[in-house]
Amino acid sequence: MAPVTQALLLANIAVYLLQTVAEPLLVAYFALWPLHTEAGFDSGAFAPWQLVTYSFLHGNLMHLLFNMLALYMFGSDIERVFGSRRYALYYLACVVSAGLAQIIVSAVGNWPAYPTVGASGGVFGLLLAFGLYFPRRMVMLIFPPIPMPAWLFVTLYGLLELYLGVTGTQQGVAHFAHLGGMLGGYLVIRSWRSRSRYL
């Protein structure tokens, strides 16, 4: 397993174990809270570092397992393409862009003040990169078990997230954060590609 991918896996698992003993404190200070929230007995308030730290917290064990499975499946291949340093920057950019998308949408929609947690923004950015760099690699869905090329898988998944976000289906899932992670990843890759033409 590539080194940064391995470090991210271990960090997420370690933070989840820490959550089992100090979850209220960690969520209050390190989950991503909307801009209009104020710190209280059972809630936190927005702070800039939360745009990164929220990605290491998870809502439950299944949430952690799905994100870490995707990180394991797609991360190492992308790290080998980008190199470890660029890969780390790319993942961070996807996490931050996902957080910004969630904050903007929650502010515009005047959503209830609940925290956002999870590595999904970074994972969706990796998924986008995988579809761009390995478009013909076959990906097997879990439910249902249907193989399809990576480019099609990424496209359908992105459209599904957009539909679920717009219609408000699966409330409690940060669909626009997922899309924000993909958008941030796309912009980073496009920036790197355009720069390389002139170097």
Active-site hit among 178, 191, 194, 196: 178
Cα(92)–Cα(96) distance, rounded to whole angstroms? 6
- Only one residue has tokens 């370690």, namely 14
Separation CA 52–CA 183 (nearest Å):
17
Based on the residue annotation, tell me whether 178 is a catalytic residue of this protein: yes
Q: Give 183-187's long-range contacts (Cβ < 8 A, gap of 24+).
A: 183/97, 183/101, 184/93, 184/94, 184/96, 184/97, 184/98, 184/121, 184/125, 185/90, 185/93, 185/94, 185/97, 185/124, 185/125, 185/126, 185/128, 185/129, 186/128, 187/97
Could you say which of 76, 97, 106, 120 is catalytic?
120
Q: In 3-state terms, the chain is what percent helix, strand and coil (to 5)?
A: 70, 5, 25
C-alpha to C-alpha distance for 191 and 199, rounded to whole angstroms: 13
Catalytic residues: 120, 178
